[in-house]
């Protein structure tokens, strides 16, 4: 029953976020601040992980294709499919939950502990709109980060294939171009937008409604990470079944 109540409370929170908006002059600076904190500052870890994940996928694929009758171009094909369909949008999102989600929960939770949220309410400010809405708008730029992750994943795969002598450059690039379906990229971006909304709102929920002191802020961050990851995995399954099944 508590789970049902929490789900209802979450959707009520999302509804309240879009009511009584903050003045655009103030909101604009908040949005730019969140874009810098949530997206720009996360590019380094996203590029690093995507590059090496692409390389690992290539090496593992090459090591399992021992039959000489199987063309080397299949290595590039498998790398492209793995990176675009799953590793770039989903695996990167799980990493973002750990980095961005924990930051969101801890920052809002600290404001709750120090009664800054109560002060906003006393001043007549919609605290949910002030705190959560800029994060939602900032996370709308998350697909650009995932696009970079796709590129870096494929680049990492190409470097691993060529310099590791697993496949010639021409064969790998041929595999990248074989049976390419543009809708797969669209599917990945749609998933990413849904994940972005989840990453912005669920950690905000746990931070906004937390109770207690500084110790509970850490517990709320851990709980937010677990539940956001679970929701992302479930949504990933549902969207895959609906769009590709």
| Residues 6 or more apart whose Cβ sits within 8 Å of residue 115 | none
Distance, in Å, from the CA atom of 77 to the CA atom of 156, rounded to the nearest integer, reads 14
pLDDT for residue 217: 87
Segments of the chain with pLDDT less than 70: 1
- Residue 157: which of 143, 142, 173 has the closest Cα? 173
CA distance readout (Å), 11 to 14, 15, 127, 130, 237: 5, 6, 16, 17, 21
**DSSP states of 73-127:** HHHHHHHHHHIIIIIIIIIHHHHHIIIIIHHHHHHHHHHHHTTHHHHHHHTT--H
**pTM for this one?**
0.90
For 69, the 3-state DSSP assignment is: coil
pLDDT for residue 1: 53
Q: What is the DSSP letter of 35?
A: I
CA distance readout (Å), 157 to 55, 121, 125, 216: 4, 51, 49, 42
| Residues 6 or more apart whose Cβ sits within 8 Å of residue 116 | none
Distance, in Å, from the CA atom of 106 to the CA atom of 125, rounded to the nearest integer, reads 21
Residue-range domain boundaries for the chain: 23-244
pLDDT for residue 213: 76
Q: What angle (nearest 5°) sits at the alpha carbon of residue 229, between those of residues 127 and 186? A: 90
């Amino acid at each position: 029953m508590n789970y049902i109540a929490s789900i209802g409370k979450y959707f009520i929170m999302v509804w309240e976020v879009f009511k009584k908006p903050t003045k655009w002059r103030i909101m604009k600076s908040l949005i730019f601040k969140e874009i810098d904190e949530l997206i720009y500052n996360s590019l380094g870890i996203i590029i690093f992980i995507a590059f090496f994940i692409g390389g690992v996928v290539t090496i593992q694929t090459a090591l399992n294709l021992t039959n000489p009758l199987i063309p080397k171009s299949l290595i590039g094909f498998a790398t492209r499919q793995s990176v675009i369909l799953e590793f770039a949008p989903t695996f990167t999102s799980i990493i973002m939950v750990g980095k961005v989600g924990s930051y969101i929960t801890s920052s809002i939770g600290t404001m709750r502990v120090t009664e800054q949220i109560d002060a906003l309410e006393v001043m007549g400010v919609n605290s949910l709109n002030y705190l959560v809405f800029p994060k939602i708008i900032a996370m709308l730029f998350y697909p650009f980060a995932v696009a970079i992750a796709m590129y870096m994943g494929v680049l990492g795969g190409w470097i691993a294939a060529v310099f590791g002598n697993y496949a010639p450059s021409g064969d790998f690039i041929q595999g990248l171009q074989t049976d390419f379906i543009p809708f797969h990229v669209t599917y990945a971006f749609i998933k990413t937008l849904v994940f972005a909304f989840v990453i912005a709102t669920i950690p905000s929920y746990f931070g906004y409604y937390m109770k207690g002191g500084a110790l509970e802020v850490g517990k709320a961050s851990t709980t937010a990470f677990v539940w956001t990851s679970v929701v992302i995995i479930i949504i990933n399954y549902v969207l895959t079944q609906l769009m590709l099944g």
